[in-house]
A and B are shown apart, each in its own frame.
Chain A
Amino acid sequence: MAVLNKIVLVDDEPDIREVAKLALGAVGGFTVHTCDSGAAALAQIPGQQPDLVLLDVMMPAMDGPTLLLKLRETPNTRDIPVIFMTAKAQREEVEKLKNLGALGVITKPFDPMGLADVIRGIWQKGRSANE
C-alpha cells in the first residue's frame, strides 16, 4: 500500500518555502524537497519521483497551472498527484483549479501546524477515489 513520504514543493517565495518545509517536514514528518520555479521543478521532479507535488499558483515565468499541464505531458511525471496552493481564495477560482486535475486546493495563509494533516487527508481521498 502506498504511503505519502516524499513531497516536492514549488513556490517562488523563499520565506514561504522555508515555512512550508518546516510545517511539512518537522511537524508532518515528510521528506520535503523545494523548487523555486516551474523550470526548476520540471528539471528535478522526474528524478525525484515524489508521492505528491505541492504547487503554488502565481509564479513569474511559468505559473502553477502551466506547470501542471507540462507535468501531465511527460509519461514519467504524468501520474504524480498535485495539490495547488494559492492566495486567491475565491470560489470560482478554486473550482477552476480543481477542474485542471489537481487533487485539491490549499488557500494561503495556511495553518502551519495543521498543514501536514490537511495534505495527508486530501492525498488519501484522492487515492481512494482512484481505486
Chain B
Amino acid sequence: MTPPQATAADLLDIKHFNDFLESVLDSLLIVDAEGMVINVNHAFEILTGFSKEEIVGDNIRRLMSVELLERFDQSPAKYLAAAAGKTREGSTRCKDGSNCAIEVSSSLFPCTQQTLYTLIFRDVSERKKIERLKNEFISAVSHELRTPLTSIHGSLGLIAGGVAGELPKQAQELIAIASNNCDRLVRLINDILDIEKIESGAIEMDFEITDLAQLVAESLESNKGFAERHAVRYRLGPVVDSAYAQLDRDRISRVMDNLLSNAAKFSNPGDEVLIEIERRNDLLRVKVTDNGDGIPVDFQDKVFERFSQADGSDTRRKGGTGLGLSICKSILNLHRGVIDFKSVPGEGSCFWFDLPAYQPTDSPDSGHREQASALICEDDPDIANLLSLMLKEKGIVADIALNAREALEKLACNHYRVMTLDLMLPDRDGLSLLDEIKIQRLADDMPVIVVSAVAAARRNKKTGAHLGITDWLSKPIDNDKLTEALKKALMDSDSSLHRVLHVEDDPDINLLIGKILGAEAQVDSACTLASARQLLAVNQYDVAILDIGLPDGSGLELVVEMAKSHPALLIIIFSAQAVSKTISDQVVSVLVKSQDDIESLVSEVAACLSEG
C-alpha cells in the first residue's frame, strides 16, 4: 500500500502522525511502570520479528538477556525508573531466539494517569561489527609491528651501549642513525595506534577530579631534562588557587608533555618558556608561551592536522612524528575542552587549552551554576533520579540529598523554594530531620512535600502544619499529584517572601549581595544571560539587579525582554558601563560600579521591595 501524500497541515492530523511513527526506522515502544508493553511501531516488528499482537500486553522482560533479567526482576519499577532519561547500549532478544545489538533510550511519556516510558531501540549491530573489526586490527597491528621492532631496537641499543665491544667511529655514527630512526618508528607506531583509538572512541578514559596546578607542576618536572637538552628553561607563572577539573590524568599529562616539548624544540637556546593557569568563568585555561621561531602564517590552519609539519626537513630533525597536536586535539575533544594557539612568526607562539572547571557543590562559589530551587531528600538513588527528572520537566532544577546529613549540609549553604522528603532515611527519621531544620532555622517558610511509601500511615495534619508539610504523597509517585503539590507549595511561598534576581558574572559581588540581601529577600543569582532567562521563565521576581557586561551578551537585552514579559518587574542596573537615556528611562535606577558602592545598591533594592 502506498503511503498517503501528507501535507504539512495534514501532519497535525492524528492518522498522518500515526503513519509518521510507523515510517520511522528506529523501534518505538511504550511500556508502563512495571514494563508491560502498551504499544509498538512497525520498525519494532521488523527488528525483533515479534508482531504487535504478540508483544502488546506482554512484559518487556521477554526481550531481555539473562544477565539483565536478574537485575530487572528484582524490581522492574526501580529498574525502569533508573533507566529513564538515559541512553545505553544493550541487546534485544528476537522471536527467532537470536540477539540483536541495540542502543536503547528511555524517557518519560507524558501521561496524566500513570507513569509510562517511551523506549527507542536503534539497531547498532553493523556499527558494533565494524568497531570490533577495528579493535582487532589495532590489537594485531600493535603486536605485529612491535615484535620485530623489539629485536631491532634491542640490537641497536646493545651495540650503541658497547656490549659488542668498541666500535670504529664511523660505525658508531651509523649505528646512532639507525638507532634514532628506530626510536622514531616506535614513537610513530604508538602515536598512530593512539590516534586511531581516540578517534574511534575505543579509548577508555579515566576521569578523576584532579588538581590541575599539581598536574602541570609534575609535567614541568618530568620534562625538565628535555628542556635542559635544548638549553631552555620552563617557568611557572602565578597559579590561580582552586584549579580543579575532572580529567584523565594520563591523557592531559600527555597534552602537557606535547606542548612543553614543542615549546622547547622550537625555542632558541637560552630562552624561557612560560606556563600559566588562568580561570575564565567556568573554564580553566593552561597556557604555554615560547619566544621561539613561531609558526609560518600559511601553515597556521594546518597545525592540528595529522602528519603536518611546517618545514619537513627541519622539524624531522627535531624528532617529531607530526601527530602530537592532532592527538592533543582529540584528547581535548573527549574532555569537552578546546585547544588553540596564537603565533607570530619570528616572535613565538602561545598554545593554550581550556577544560571545564570542577565546582564542588557545597562551595560558596556554586552561585555560578544554575541555582537549584528544589531539594530532593530521598535515599534511593533511582527514585531520586526519577523525581529529579519529573521536576526538570516542570522547569525546576533540583539538588539531591541521599540522607539527612547531606540534606542539612545542603540547606546550610543554599536556599530552596521547596523540598521533597522521604520519611525513611538511613540515618534519621524524616520528620525528625524537619524538626532539626526548624530548630537550626535553616529553611524558614520552605514548604515540604512528603514523598514516602508510608505517607498515608504517618500522615498527621497537626504535625504536618507545624513542620511546614504541604502535602503527603505516597510511592509509586503519581506525576499529576506531584504537579498539583508543587503548584500549591510554590504559590504559597511566592507570596511570603520578596524575590530578587541578581544578574552578575563577578562571583565576589554575587556572594556579597546574596549575603546582604538574603535576610529580607530571596536572592537568585545568574551569571549569564542564559541562566537569567531560565530563572525568569520559572519564577516571579519583584526586583532585578542587572550587570551589563555578561559573558554571553549584554544585560540590556534583558531590559528589553522584561519590558514585555515582566512589566511589573522593577529593574536596577548596576554596571561598570554607562547607559543611554532610553534605557535609563525604562529602569528604576542606574548605579555605576566604580562610583556607587554596594550600600547605595542595597538601599535602592530595599526601597523597591518596600514599594512592592
The interface of chain A, by Cβ under 8 A from chain B, is: 13, 15-16, 19-20, 22-23, 26-27, 58, 87-92, 108-113
Q: Are A88 and B142 in contact (CB under 8 A)?
A: yes
Does residue B611 face the partner (Cβ distance < 8 Å to A)? Answer: no
| Cα of A88 to Cα of B139 in the assembled complex, Å | 7
| Cα of A19 to Cα of B155 in the assembled complex, Å | 6
- Chain A contacts for B154, CB-based, 8 A: 16, 19-20, 23, 109-110, 112
| Cα of A16 to Cα of B153 in the assembled complex, Å | 10
Interface string of B464-508 (1 = CB under 8 A from A): 000000000000000000000000000000000000000000000
- Chain B contacts for A89, CB-based, 8 A: 142, 146, 190
Q: Are A108 and B157 in contact (CB under 8 A)?
A: no
| 29 pairs, A vs B, C-beta closer than 8 Å | A13-B151, A15-B148, A15-B155, A16-B150, A19-B150, A19-B151, A19-B154, A19-B158, A20-B154, A22-B158, A23-B154, A23-B158, A26-B163, A27-B158, A87-B142, A87-B143, A87-B150, A89-B146, A90-B142, A92-B204, A108-B146, A108-B147, A108-B149, A108-B150, A109-B149, A112-B158, A113-B157, A113-B158, A113-B161
Q: Are B161 and A27 in contact (CB under 8 A)?
A: yes
- Chain A contacts for B197, CB-based, 8 A: 90
Closest 3 A-B residue pairs measured CB to CB? A19-B154, A87-B146, A15-B151
CB distance from B177 to the nearest CB of A (A): 18
| Cα of A111 to Cα of B147 in the assembled complex, Å | 14
CB distance from B488 to the nearest CB of A (A): 53
Interface string of B115-158 (1 = CB under 8 A from A): 00000000000000000000000010011001111111111011
Does residue B186 face the partner (Cβ distance < 8 Å to A)? Answer: yes
| Cα of A15 to Cα of B151 in the assembled complex, Å | 6
Q: Are A88 and B153 in contact (CB under 8 A)?
A: no
Overall SS of chain B's interface:
helix
The tally of CB-CB contacts under 8 A between chains A and B is 69
| Cα of A22 to Cα of B150 in the assembled complex, Å | 13
Q: Are A87 and B147 in contact (CB under 8 A)?
A: yes
Most B C-beta atoms less than 10 A away, residue of A27, A108, A109? A109
Question: Of B142, B152, B155, B157, which is within 8 A of A111 by CB?
Answer: B157
Q: Are A91 and B142 in contact (CB under 8 A)?
A: no
CB distance from A50 to the nearest CB of B (A): 21
Q: Are B150 and A109 in contact (CB under 8 A)?
A: yes
Of chain A, the residue at the smallest CB distance from B182 is A109
Of chain B, the residue at the smallest CB distance from A91 is B204
| Cα of A58 to Cα of B142 in the assembled complex, Å | 12
Given contacts A27-B163, A92-B204, whether A58 and B158 have CB atoms under 8 Å apart is: no
Q: Are B143 and A16 in contact (CB under 8 A)?
A: no
B150-184, CB < 8 A from A = 150-155, 157-158, 161, 163
Q: Are A110 and B150 in contact (CB under 8 A)?
A: yes
CB distance from A83 to the nearest CB of B (A): 15
| Cα of A89 to Cα of B150 in the assembled complex, Å | 13
The interface of chain B, by Cβ under 8 A from chain A, is: 139, 142-143, 146-155, 157-158, 161, 163, 186, 190, 197, 204, 250
Of chain B, the residue at the smallest CB distance from A92 is B204
Of chain A, the residue at the smallest CB distance from B160 is A113
CB distance from B277 to the nearest CB of A (A): 27
Of chain A, the residue at the smallest CB distance from B190 is A89
- Chain A contacts for B150, CB-based, 8 A: 13, 16, 19, 87, 108-110
- Chain B contacts for A87, CB-based, 8 A: 142-143, 146-147, 150
- Chain B contacts for A22, CB-based, 8 A: 158, 163
Q: Are A58 and B161 in contact (CB under 8 A)?
A: no
| Cα of A13 to Cα of B155 in the assembled complex, Å | 14
- Chain A contacts for B161, CB-based, 8 A: 27, 112-113
- Chain B contacts for A15, CB-based, 8 A: 148, 151, 155
Most A C-beta atoms less than 10 A away, residue of B147, B150, B158, B204? B150
Name 8 extra pairs, CB < 8 A, besides A13-B151, A113-B161.
A16-B151, A58-B143, A87-B147, A88-B142, A89-B190, A109-B186, A110-B153, A112-B154
Given contacts A22-B163, A23-B158, A112-B154, whether A16 and B142 have CB atoms under 8 Å apart is: no
CB distance from B150 to the nearest CB of A (A): 4
| Cα of A93 to Cα of B52 in the assembled complex, Å | 45
CB distance from B141 to the nearest CB of A (A): 10
| Cα of A92 to Cα of B197 in the assembled complex, Å | 13
- Chain A contacts for B158, CB-based, 8 A: 19, 22-23, 26-27, 112-113
- Chain A contacts for B204, CB-based, 8 A: 91-92
CB distance from B385 to the nearest CB of A (A): 29
| Cα of A108 to Cα of B150 in the assembled complex, Å | 6
| Cα of A26 to Cα of B147 in the assembled complex, Å | 22
CB distance from B254 to the nearest CB of A (A): 12
Most B C-beta atoms less than 10 A away, residue of A19, A26, A27, A91? A19
| Cα of A27 to Cα of B157 in the assembled complex, Å | 11
Given contacts A15-B151, A92-B204, whether A112 and B157 have CB atoms under 8 Å apart is: yes
Of chain A, the residue at the smallest CB distance from B194 is A90
Of chain A, the residue at the smallest CB distance from B206 is A91
Q: Are B146 and A109 in contact (CB under 8 A)?
A: yes
- Chain B contacts for A88, CB-based, 8 A: 139, 142-143
- Chain A contacts for B151, CB-based, 8 A: 13, 15-16, 19
Of chain B, the residue at the smallest CB distance from A113 is B161
- Chain B contacts for A16, CB-based, 8 A: 147, 150-151, 154
- Chain B contacts for A20, CB-based, 8 A: 154
CB distance from B187 to the nearest CB of A (A): 11
| Cα of A19 to Cα of B158 in the assembled complex, Å | 8
| Cα of A112 to Cα of B158 in the assembled complex, Å | 6
CB distance from A118 to the nearest CB of B (A): 13
- Chain B contacts for A26, CB-based, 8 A: 158, 163
CB distance from B136 to the nearest CB of A (A): 12
- Chain B contacts for A27, CB-based, 8 A: 158, 161, 163
CB distance from B220 to the nearest CB of A (A): 23
Q: Are B143 and A13 in contact (CB under 8 A)?
A: no
| Cα of A16 to Cα of B143 in the assembled complex, Å | 14
Of chain A, the residue at the smallest CB distance from B138 is A90
| Cα of A112 to Cα of B149 in the assembled complex, Å | 12
